[in-house]
Amino acid sequence: MTRDIAVVAFGQTDTLRTTEEMSEVEMLMPVLHDVLERTGLKTADIGFTCSGSSDYLAGRAFSFTLALDGVGAWPPISESHVEMDGAWALYEAWTKLLTGDADTALVYSYGKSSPGPVRDVLTRQLDPYYLAPLWPDSVALAALQAQALIDAGDTDEPALAGIAARSRATDNPHAQLRGPVPHGDYLVRPLRTGDCPPIGDGAAAVVLAAGERARALCERPAWIRGIDHRIEPHALGVRDLTDSPSTRLAAEKAGAFERPVDTAELHAPFTSQEVVLRKALKLGDDVRVNPSGGALAANPIMAAGLIRIGEAATRIHRGESDRALAHATSGPCLQQNLVAVLEGDPR
């Protein structure tokens, strides 16, 4: 690695059950302005722009091109998009900065799950031959994984309820579910409503900068020491659902195991998935896990992974963390996983 690259600003909307009074660009624009204001940058100062979203969520074709209205893309900008969580857009932007083609990058993502039946919408990302024709919804697949963990003795229903309660005991003002939330009835057994993420709409944005530029834009930049993403074989029945080798490998490649982290922001939409991730990442009890509440408190799909990186970076900016791990996931049962390691300069 030849250049040091840091997260220098992060912004996010409140995650809300519905934002029907706003279009996607109307929801997104305030966070774009927020991160630009924090750094004093204008669109014209940004070297590369990269976004993550999925048209399927709100059912609007090419919504990502309309979202570009909020950036101000004239004169033409250098721009890219991934049909994935914004964490992967950040990965692309980080790569672009590493090449030296740009010194700053704007990364954003958004998701409006409220217009559609999100449990069914997510079935359309599955294997079209063997899985999609059966319409196995996202909660059902997570429940199969949860039962496998219970059978293996890795967790039980009270422990899962404990993860839910701890996550929602957050002071995160952007969270959709906060404070005591009833653990509820089974949605798909063994998962209860409390084990599942709330359905909500939201957006997030990050500014990346390289080297001295980062120091000029941010008092304590959150340096990306390593970032890597890996994927599991796509057939669920081939995998050991109680483990996440792809997370462990991504963490290893990102350098997560070289020194302990003090904070971890994990993208675990279901309580049971936190159990898998803690094991894969070898997180001890001394690591603060998801002080933001994680995806159980707010899960704007396509933004929730980028938000994990933003939350970890913000803690470094504020001096509340010196070395933090951020994780993002995509697909059923932690199919694909990204791990980033962030550090602040010594104090």
Partner 1 sequence: MPEVLKAPLVVEFPFTRSLGPVQSAFLTGLRERVVLGVATADGRTLVPPVEYDPVTAEDLRDLVEVAPTGTVTTWAWNHEPRRGQPLDTPFAWVLVRLDGADTALLHALDVPGPDAVRTGTRVRIRWAEERTGAITDIACFEPYDGEPAELTGSDGTFEEKVTGIVAHARLDYTYSPGRAQSAYIAALSGRRTVGERCPSCRKVYVPPRGACPTCGVATAEQVEVGPAGTVTTFCIVNIKAKNLDIEVPYVYAHIALDGAGLALHGRIGGIPYDQVRMGLRVEPVWTDGGRYPDHYRPTGEPDADYETYKELL
- How far apart are CB 186 and partner 1 at their closest, in Å? 7
Contacts 24+ apart (CB under 8 A), 235-239: 235/127, 235/130, 236/131, 236/141, 236/144, 236/332, 236/333, 239/333
Cβ proximity to partner 1, 71 vs 251, nearer residue: 71
Cβ proximity to partner 1, 186 vs 257, nearer residue: 186
- How far apart are CB 230 and partner 1 at their closest, in Å? 13
Residue type, 157: E
Tokens of 91: 């990965």
Cβ proximity to partner 1, 113 vs 167, nearer residue: 113
Q: Residues interacting with partner 1, by CB under 8 A?
A: 20-26, 29, 32-33, 43, 56, 58-60, 66, 68-74, 115-117, 119-121, 123-124, 128-137, 140-141, 143-148, 151, 186, 188-191, 233-238, 241
- How far apart are CB 202 and partner 1 at their closest, in Å? 15
**What is the distance between the alpha carbons of residues 250 and 257, in angstroms, rounded to a whole number?**
11
H or E stretch covering 159: helix 157-168
Distance of CA 83 to the CA centre of its chain: 14
- How far apart are CB 226 and partner 1 at their closest, in Å? 25
- How far apart are CB 105 and partner 1 at their closest, in Å? 16
Cβ proximity to partner 1, 133 vs 260, nearer residue: 133
- How far apart are CB 281 and partner 1 at their closest, in Å? 23
Cβ proximity to partner 1, 24 vs 85, nearer residue: 24
Cβ proximity to partner 1, 130 vs 257, nearer residue: 130
| Nearest partner of 336 among 87, 148, 154, judged by Cα | 87
Query: Is the Cβ–Cβ distance between 148 and 242 less than 8 Å?
Result: yes
Cβ proximity to partner 1, 237 vs 284, nearer residue: 237
| Nearest partner of 13 among 203, 163, 198, judged by Cα | 203
- How far apart are CB 308 and partner 1 at their closest, in Å? 26
Parallel, antiparallel, or unpaired for β 48-52 and 79-82? Answer: parallel
| Nearest partner of 163 among 269, 248, 83, 261, judged by Cα | 269
Residue bearing tokens 């302990």: 260
